[in-house]
């Protein structure tokens, strides 16, 4: 069952993402689709998360990490339930080591993930990851 956050994400991907040609930061992601991100101080429905889009593609994703172990456990459990109900994008297991670190006082952290393959696609001007990926199983064999 999709909640409003997942519906918003799907609508964005289908109608707007491909239009973000110039470098654009998208912020205000729903909690439902951001299981590791800290809740926005001004809106409990949203998180402190951003995505960078260039050329109609997501290039980077970053956020302030949630550091409340009780809330994080609840979100992990929600993800696990979503996985059991057929959500292929949901996390597969509860990370007990991470929860333990939070319980012991892991300080606030943040992270940024950059899709280097997508950066190479942007530089090379190609539209398919198959054109730049290093793994030969995805490329047609040439004789």
**pTM score, two decimals?**
0.82
SS3 state of residue 66:
coil
Per-residue pLDDT tens digits for 56-106: 999 999 999 999 999 999 999 988 988 888 888 887 789 999 999 999 999
So what CATH class is 4-113?
A: alpha beta
Name the CA radius of gyration of the chain, rounded.
Answer: 18
Residues 132-141 pLDDT 10s: 887 655 555 6
| CA–CA distance, 20 with 18 (Å, rounded to integer) | 6
The C-alpha angle 39, 41, 44, rounded to 5 degrees, equals 55
C-alpha 2/C-alpha 80 separation (Å) is: 14
Domain boundaries, the chain: 4-113
């Amino acid at each position: 069952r999709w909640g409003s956050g997942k519906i918003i994400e799907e609508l964005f991907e289908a109608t707007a993402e491909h239009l973000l040609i110039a470098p654009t930061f998208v912020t205000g992601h729903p909690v439902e689709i951001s299981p590791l991100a800290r809740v926005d101080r001004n809106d409990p429905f949203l998180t402190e998360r951003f995505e960078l889009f260039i050329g109609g593609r997501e290039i980077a994703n970053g956020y302030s990490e949630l550091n409340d172990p009780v809330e994080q456990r609840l979100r992990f459990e929600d993800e696990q339930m979503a996985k059991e109900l057929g959500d292929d994008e949901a996390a597969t297991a509860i990370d007990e080591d991470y929860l333990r670190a939070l319980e012991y006082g892991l300080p606030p952290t943040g992270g940024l993930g950059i899709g280097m393959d997508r950066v190479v696609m942007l530089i090379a001007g190609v539209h398919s990851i198959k054109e730049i990926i290093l793994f030969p199983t995805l490329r047609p064999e040439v004789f």
